[in-house]
């Protein structure tokens, strides 16, 4: 399945400016100049991404090491959907 | 004013978060790890709200603007179909061009659903509004429409 | 252009050019107390031009097209008798599209005890009339149309233009202000309704370079039963990005300035049905949040 082969990463942590607001997170994305207001799990997913391109399943493992994902039957599919959305917004990259 | 419920939900914040950090990112110290809900599907879409550059945001509210239906430069001799597209003269079910442009205020009131555009029947009003909703950058009336700050 | 005038308002300088003398004379009288720059040394931030809207329209059914450094297409030409309004709208447009030195928020602002009350809202919310009213009742008017937020300090800078009063607000302020000379001509049936301008009180003009920190943000709504509600930081942030004409253009500086603003300044939604009522409610809120 092509989706399982997609590798996700972030270019440069400095390209985003993060600020907490009202239990949410504001993100100023420098390359695009666009402001995003995001809710959990987006900040946690962004924090799990790094320079190193990784498939969604490895990112999921990393998140389960840090967070309780119990009861998440479709965790991998859900994570992949989030990652794709982040790529569409330019906040993450994939290949 | 939009009511955006997701903004007012207070998700739990870690007590030791720096002002510049991300609330809740990073596991809590101690035995209990923080729950992370991945959701997905519709939930994925609602987790991000982006501030789009609104063209002439509020700037044109300081100016009185108008929207011709259709753009005289592009719609000469054409009519407005019920879905708002421009169609050749004589097309069945289509409406003629408006004899005069509508003001921003008139369009705003019609889009809100209160009043039809002046001088139009129910169906004609709907066709004209569909035309207006399809306006693109470069077409006469676009900046006026964009400045009405109607939610997308 | 045939007739022109240089105006300094807050941190901005405008050069107004006009094909007709009338609007320039009106502006010169109404802005008489403002700093007059000498024609030689002044450098204008913006040019506003009142031009004939078409061949022959300087004399026959004279019609004004608002032009300048920045412009928007789709604008409707205005009758010459509304030329003063056209000039004011032209200045608004230049600021809205071209100002980058501060974050511009569509809001009125008044100052008391060295702190600023900012009132954000659309036309009709009552923000301009409230500011004008408070400006006659012990507050210093800083602006009725735009609040200027300093990127570095977070302070609000004055931008005290002529207060634009619409319809019933004209009567409200005529009752409030004794001196008829402080009012500009009544322009009836403009595209925005009946309009008259009010010259800000002398102190507002003389102190137009004095910025001050914001202490309270209100979202007023005129024409509702009195009510006060806290507004969340996230909601306030969203509203203000929509109420700012240059948030996106100013990039990262706007982001950090607006975040700091909403996290340090409490936000309240205020519904009211009369100016006196709002004055009382604001008095109580001010003591609670800025006292």
Three-state SS sequence of chain B: CCCCHHHHCCCCCCCCCCCCCCCCCCCCCCCCCCECCCCCCHHHHHCEEEECCCCCCCHHHHCCEEECCCCCCCCCCEEECCCCCEEECCCCCCECCCCCCEEHHHHHHHHHCCCCCCCCCHHHHHHHHHHHHCCCCCCCCHHHHHCCCCCC
Band (pLDDT 50/70/90 cuts) for residue A74 is confident
Assembly ipTM: 0.86
CA distance C137 to C116: 15
A19 forms bridges with which residues in the sheet? A26
pLDDT value of position B27: 56
Given C50, C74, C98, the domain boundary residue is C98
Please tell me whether residues C49 and C88 are part of one structural domain: yes
* Helix pair angle (A75-89, A56-66), 10° resolution: 110
Give me the mean pLDDT over the A27-33 stretch: 90
Among B1, B66, B132, B147, most C C-beta atoms within 10 A, so best to mutate, is: B1
**CB-based contact (8 Å) between B44 and chain A?**
yes
How do C187-190 and C193-198 pair as beta strands? antiparallel
CB atoms within 10 A of CB B82: 15
Contact between B1 and C245 using a beta-carbon 8 Å cutoff: no
pLDDT per residue as tens digits for the range C129-158: 999 999 999 999 999 999 999 999 999 999
pLDDT value of position C82: 92
Q: What is the DSSP string of C217-237?
A: EEEEEETS--EEEEE-HHHHH
pLDDT value of position B72: 84
The pLDDT mean for chain C works out to 92
Band (pLDDT 50/70/90 cuts) for residue C73 is confident
pLDDT value of position C178: 94
Please tell me whether residues C202 and C247 are part of one structural domain: yes
Question: How many structural domains comprise chain B?
Answer: 1
Question: Which among B23, B43, B52 has CB closest to A23?
Answer: B23
Please tell me whether residues C180 and C197 are part of one structural domain: yes
Please tell me whether residues C114 and C43 are part of one structural domain: no
**CB-based contact (8 Å) between B40 and chain A?**
yes
Residue B109 within any structural domain of the chain: yes
pLDDT per residue as tens digits for the range C111-133: 999 999 999 987 778 999 999 99
Band (pLDDT 50/70/90 cuts) for residue C216 is very high
Band (pLDDT 50/70/90 cuts) for residue C54 is confident
pLDDT value of position B56: 42
Is B60 in contact with B104 (CB distance < 8 Å)? yes
CA distance C183 to B71: 40
The answer, yes or no, to whether residue B54 has pLDDT greater than 60, is: no
pLDDT value of position A4: 52
| Residues spanned by the domain of C255 | 103-290
Please tell me whether residues C45 and C135 are part of one structural domain: no
Is A61 in contact with B42 (CB distance < 8 Å)? no
Contact between B64 and C96 using a beta-carbon 8 Å cutoff: no
Give me the mean pLDDT over the C85-105 stretch: 91
Please tell me whether residues C89 and C137 are part of one structural domain: no
CA atoms within 13 A of residue C138's CA, in its CB half-sphere:
6
Question: How many structural domains comprise chain A?
Answer: 1
Taking contacts as CB-CB distances below 8 angstroms, the residues of chain C near B67 are 74
Residue B142 within any structural domain of the chain: yes
Give me the mean pLDDT over the B4-10 stretch: 34
The pLDDT mean for chain A works out to 88
The answer, yes or no, to whether residue B5 has pLDDT greater than 80, is: no
The answer, yes or no, to whether residue B7 has pLDDT greater than 80, is: no
Contact between C259 and A19 using a beta-carbon 8 Å cutoff: yes
DSSP C215: E
The answer, yes or no, to whether residue A70 has pLDDT greater than 90, is: no
CA distance C111 to C20: 37
Q: What is the dihedral of CA C52, C56, C60, C64, to 10 degrees?
A: -10
Contact between B50 and A85 using a beta-carbon 8 Å cutoff: no
Give me C162's structure tokens.
């002529």
Structure-model confidence comparison of residues C142 and B39, the more confident one: C142
pLDDT value of position B15: 32
Min Cα separation C151/chain B (Å):
18
CA-based diameter of chain C, in Å? 59
Question: Which among C237, C252, C263 has CB closest to A28?
Answer: C252
Taking contacts as CB-CB distances below 8 angstroms, the residues of chain C near A26 are 237, 255, 259
Quickly tell me which residue has 């972030």 as its tokens.
A10
Q: Name subunits touching A (3+ CB pairs < 8 A).
A: B, C
Residue B116 within any structural domain of the chain: yes
Question: How many structural domains comprise chain C?
Answer: 2
Residue B141 within any structural domain of the chain: yes
The answer, yes or no, to whether residue C198 has pLDDT greater than 80, is: yes
Please tell me whether residues C146 and C258 are part of one structural domain: yes
- Interacting residues of B124 by C-beta distance below 8 A, sequence separation 6+: B95, B117
Taking contacts as CB-CB distances below 8 angstroms, the residues of chain A near C247 are 35
Min Cα separation C146/chain B (Å):
11
Band (pLDDT 50/70/90 cuts) for residue C242 is confident
Of all residues in chain A, the percent with pLDDT exceeding 90 is 54
**Sign of CA pseudo-dihedral C206, C208, C211, C214:** positive
Among B47, B49, B52, B53, most A C-beta atoms within 10 A, so best to mutate, is: B47
pLDDT per residue as tens digits for the range B62-93: 556 788 999 888 888 889 999 999 999 889 99
Tally C-beta pairs within 8 A across B and C: 86
Three-class secondary structure of residue A63 per DSSP: helix
| Residues spanned by the domain of B73 | 59-146
Structure-model confidence comparison of residues A69 and A50, the more confident one: A50
Burial of C181 (0-12, 13-18, 19+ CB in 10 A): exposed
């Amino acid at each position: 399945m092509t989706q399982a082969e997609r590798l996700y990463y972030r270019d440069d942590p400095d390209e985003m400016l993060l600020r907490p607001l009202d239990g949410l997170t504001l993100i100023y994305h420098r390359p695009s100049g666009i402001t995003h207001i995001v809710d959990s799990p987006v900040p946690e997913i962004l924090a799990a991404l790094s320079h190193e391109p990784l498939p969604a399943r490895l990112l999921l493992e990393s998140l389960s090491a840090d967070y309780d994902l119990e009861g998440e039957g479709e965790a991998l599919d859900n994570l992949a959907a989030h990652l794709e959305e982040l790529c569409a917004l330019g906040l993450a990259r994939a290949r | 004013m939009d009511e955006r419920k997701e903004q007012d939900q207070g998700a739990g914040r870690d007590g030791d978060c720096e002002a510049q950090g991300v609330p809740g990112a990073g596991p809590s110290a101690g035995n209990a790890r923080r729950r992370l809900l991945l959701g997905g599907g519709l939930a994925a879409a609602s987790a991000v709200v982006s501030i789009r550059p609104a063209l002439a945001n509020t700037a044109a509210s300081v100016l009185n603007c108008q929207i011709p239906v259709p753009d005289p430069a592009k719609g000469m001799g054409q009519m407005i179909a019920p879905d708002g597209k421009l169609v050749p003269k004589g097309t069945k079910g289509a409406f003629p061009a408006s004899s005069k442009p509508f003001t921003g205020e008139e369009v705003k009131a019609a889009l809100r659903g209160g009043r039809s555009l002046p001088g139009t029947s129910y169906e004609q009003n709907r066709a004209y509004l569909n035309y207006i909703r399809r306006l693109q950058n470069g077409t006469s009336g676009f900046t006026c429409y964009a400045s009405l700050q109607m939610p997308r | 252009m045939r007739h022109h005038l240089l105006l300094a308002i807050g941190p901005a300088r405008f050069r107004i050019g006009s094909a007709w003398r009338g609007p320039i004379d009106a502006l010169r009288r109404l802005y008489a107390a403002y700093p007059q720059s000498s024609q030689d040394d002044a450098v204008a931030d913006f040019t506003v031009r009142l031009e004939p809207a078409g061949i022959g329209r300087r004399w026959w059914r004279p019609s004004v097209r608002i032009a300048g450094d920045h412009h928007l297409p789709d604008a409707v030409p205005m009758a010459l008798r509304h030329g003063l309004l056209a000039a004011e709208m032209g200045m608004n447009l230049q600021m809205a599209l071209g100002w980058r030195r501060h974050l511009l928020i569509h809001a009125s602002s008044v100052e008391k005890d060295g702190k600023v009350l900012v009132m954000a809202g659309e036309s009709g919310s009552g923000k301009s009339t409230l500011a004008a009213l408070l400006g006659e009742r012990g507050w210093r008017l800083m602006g009725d149309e735009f609040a200027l937020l300093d990127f570095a300090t977070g302070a609000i800078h004055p931008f005290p233009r002529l207060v634009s009063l619409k319809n019933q607000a004209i009567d409200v302020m005529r009752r409030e202000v004794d001196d008829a000379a402080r009012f500009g001509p009544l322009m009836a049936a403009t595209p925005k309704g009946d309009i008259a301008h009010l010259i800000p009180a002398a102190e507002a003009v003389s102190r137009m370079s004095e910025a001050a920190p914001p202490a309270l943000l209100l979202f007023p709504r005129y024409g509702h039963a009195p009510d006060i509600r806290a507004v969340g930081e996230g909601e306030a942030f969203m509203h203000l990005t929509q109420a700012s004409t240059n948030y996106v253009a100013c990039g990262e500086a706007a982001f950090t300035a607006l975040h700091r603003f909403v996290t340090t300044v409490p936000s309240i939604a205020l519904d009211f049905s009369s100016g006196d009522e709002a004055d009382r409610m604001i008095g109580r809120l001010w003591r609670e949040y800025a006292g």
